[in-house]
Amino acid sequence: MRVSRRSMLAGTAAGVLAPAVGMADSAYAAGLTRQITIYAEALPGGLYGYGLEPGKATIPGPLLEIYEGDTLEIELVNRTDQRLSIHPHGVNYDTGSDGAPLNASFNKPYETRTYTWKTRARYDTGSGFWMPGNAGYWHYHDHAMGTDHGTAGLARGLYGGLIVRKRGDLLPSKQYTVVFNEMMINHKMAPDTPILEARLGERVEWVCVGYGSLPHTFHLHAHRWADTRTGMLSSADDNAAIVDNKNLDPGSSFGFQVIAGEGVGPGAWMYHCHVQTHSDGGMVGLFLVRNADGSLPDGAQEAIDRFKLHDHAGHDMSPDGRTHA
């Protein structure tokens, strides 16, 4: 069964993660417990992935969404011969749902296990300070495969994006998870990296995650966002910094929304790591903004063809500032 984002937002049996737009606040004011099944499976080339259905594992895994105050119960079905788990960032959990061998929290080969993630809104401590809530752009990943720290799962594709929303957040038309892991984007290198598409004027949400052992920065051509939780300004007086490039080091994550082509028009726009040797080495993808009717804008196909033919083998930068193949 195909699971659409709308069905996930609307609360169907497919495994909803967030209430539909327009649902009354009372429907989730007290916090809902939501249940979902995720399958961990082997993929070709020694890779692994998470999926919402058997045989549908992907890299990255499915983008999960809940609202502050909700609890998410994940039944993780391990369909592999490896020890593995699912470990979240940004939410609350006890040691039994840690996903780490330290706490003996993992799935044995072919074992099914339930992990519980809880969230809450910010609250007044009564002492002049507020405790933060869980709203933000986060991620989840394996923490048990290969070593005592579970680093093999990250290296082989067991990861995905996680959004905890506040009530009233604007929901996008398109969503994309972009993971920088060593010298790869979503476990691919250019020219095989994802071409992410939207139509002119669509609201597009990006969830950016860093893994591996290398420092990275994320840059999106021709688009910019506010350096806030959502990438948007809260009012006409909000003076948050506006950025188009942000650090994306291992273990970090952020997200933002943009209007595709706003102020610049449709076209084939690059997104890439701005560490120069990394972009030369293949950490480049394309954000294709189509015309409003879905057609390709002038020059876009030629730009895509050039991208496919570009040299992504990498270069060494000499002290004199010149690049040498």
pLDDT average, residue stretch 2-21: 35
Report pTM. 0.88
Of the given ranges (109-113, 179-183, 201-205, 321-325), which has the lowest mean pLDDT? 321-325
Quote the CA–CA distance of 315 and 244 in Å, as a whole number: 25
pLDDT at residue 4, rounded to an integer: 37
What confidence category does residue 310 fall into, taking pLDDT thresholds of 50, 70 and 90? confident
Q: Is the pLDDT of residue 31 over 90?
A: no
Average pLDDT score over the chain: 89
Q: Is the pLDDT of residue 11 over 50?
A: no
Instruction: Indicate the CATH number of 171-313 among 3.30.450.20, 2.30.40.10, 1.10.10.10, 2.60.40.420.
Output: 2.60.40.420
> DSSP states of 93-136 as a string?
--GGGS--GGGT-SBPTT-EEEEEEE----EE-SSS-EE----E
Q: Is the pLDDT of residue 103 over 90?
A: yes
- Domain map (residue ranges) of the chain: 31-169, 171-313
CATH no. of 31-169: 2.60.40.420
Written as one letter, the residue type at 313 is: A
Higher pLDDT, 318 or 314: 314
Contact 19, 7 (CB under 8 A): no
What confidence category does residue 6 fall into, taking pLDDT thresholds of 50, 70 and 90? very low
Q: Is the pLDDT of residue 215 over 50?
A: yes
What confidence category does residue 314 fall into, taking pLDDT thresholds of 50, 70 and 90? low
pLDDT at residue 30, rounded to an integer: 55
Q: Is the pLDDT of residue 322 over 60?
A: no
Contact 255, 231 (CB under 8 A): yes
Q: Is the pLDDT of residue 24 over 90?
A: no
- Cis peptide leading into 250, omega within 30 of 0? no
pLDDT at residue 313, rounded to an integer: 75
pLDDT at residue 320, rounded to an integer: 45
pLDDT average, residue stretch 143-170: 96
Residues paired with residue 259 on neighbouring β-strands, in sequence order: 203
Written as one letter, the residue type at 304 is: I
pLDDT average, residue stretch 293-314: 92
Residues 6+ apart with CB under 8 A from 72: 17, 33, 34, 35, 36, 64, 66, 91, 116, 117, 118, 119
pLDDT at residue 13, rounded to an integer: 29
Judge if 31-169 and 171-313 fold alike in CATH terms.
yes
pLDDT average, residue stretch 84-105: 97
Residues 6+ apart with CB under 8 A from 146: 82, 152, 153, 155
